[in-house]
Amino acid sequence: MDFNKPRYTPMNRRRRIYEGKAKVLFEGPEPGTLIQHFKDDATAFNAKKHEVIDGKGVLNNRISEFVFQHLNDIGVPTHFIRRLNMREQLIREVEIIPLEVVVRNVAAGSLAKRLGLEEGTQLPRSIIEFYYKNDKLDDPMVSEEHITAFGWATPQEIDDIMALAIRVNDFLSGLFLGVGIRLVDFKIECGRLWEGDMMRIVVADEISPDSCRLWDMKSAEKLDKDRFRKDLGGLIEAYTEVARRLGILAETDGVPMGGPRLVQ
Ligand code: AIR
Ligand code: ASP
């Protein structure tokens, strides 16, 4: 398959496969591919809170591309093929496993609340948790017992998912440490990628400030979606800062008026 030959279909004529809260999936140019489109919508508390934040999709597309391309480069399998434009990327079609896989290094969010830990406490080791993806149920936390009993994933698949989650955590922790950002926690989703009769588990969805908690190492300022969840304001400025530190936006680019300017 030649993924470098562009064969775009105008957006309104493309078949829409799935619309989520922050992304839309369209049919891709080749069998087994999809186009992942990043919207500007921000939701929290499973869509009970909703706003459109101009430019968020563009930033997440670019930050997620950066992370997924690096994961591919170090041999962590993902669904990502390449970015197509400001809001879209070409991905491999996978069968999404209905779990949110959360890795935590520092106590925050629902863990701090559940166990009465002070936010910011370093955890004794990285902790992996599973949540069942179901908005109506508010994504309840589940154990491996639930996952295997209800057939969401097999024990072997859970092992593969955990191994991927640890590799992603090691990569992301180092990446952000290098630019003065503390990776507090993050969420990934995994999918089954079929290649003939063979199946492997790959990282899917997105990895962006929507799905990670990122704190500035010096000031502890939040550079992630908690700015929206907690009504702190300055979300675009924070995401722009993350992109700038990763070298995605030129140093000279300030907070954009008509959307961020991207460096090719
Ligand atoms: N997360 C969970 N569901 C959706 C997302 N984005 C991410 C949060 C946070 C981590 O998972 O962004 O980085 C843990 O979230 P919480 O709310 O369980 O503490
Ligand atoms: N993404 C989920 C929602 O839309 C949860 C969250 O990020 O807070 O509500």
Residue closest by Cα to atom 11 of ligand 1: 187
The two tokens of residue 202 are 């790959």
Task: State whether the beta carbon of 133 lies less than 6 angstroms from ligand 2.
Answer: no
* Average pLDDT taken over every residue of the chain: 93
**pTM reported for the whole predicted model:** 0.92
Whether residue 258 is predicted with pLDDT greater than 80 in this model: the reply is no
- Binned at pLDDT 50, 70 and 90, residue 12 comes out as low
Residues 6+ apart with CB under 8 A from 218: 180
pLDDT tens digits, one per residue of 177-221:
999 999 999 999 999 999 999 999 999 999 999 999 999 999 999
Domains of the chain: 11-94+235-245 (3.30.200.20), 96-216 (3.30.470.20)
**Is-contact 203 164, C-beta < 8 A?**
yes
Supply the pLDDT for residue 259.
Answer: 54
Task: State whether the beta carbon of 211 lies less than 6 angstroms from ligand 1.
Answer: yes
- Binned at pLDDT 50, 70 and 90, residue 257 comes out as very low
Supply the pLDDT for residue 4.
Answer: 57
pLDDT tens digits, one per residue of 81-120:
999 999 999 999 999 999 999 999 999 999 999 999 999 9
The length of the chain, given as a count of residues: 264
Which helix (H) or strand (E) covers residue 60, if one does? helix 56-73
The two tokens of residue 57 are 């999709």
**Distance separating alpha carbons of residues 66 and 60, to the nearest angstrom:** 10
Task: State whether the beta carbon of 206 lies less than 6 angstroms from ligand 1.
Answer: no
- Binned at pLDDT 50, 70 and 90, residue 229 comes out as very high
Whether residue 7 is predicted with pLDDT greater than 70 in this model: the reply is no
Percent of the chain clearing pLDDT 70 (strictly above): 90
Strands (E), the chain: 16-19, 23-27, 33-38, 41-44, 49-52, 80-83, 88-92, 95-96, 99-106, 122-132, 141-142, 181-195, 198-204, 212-216
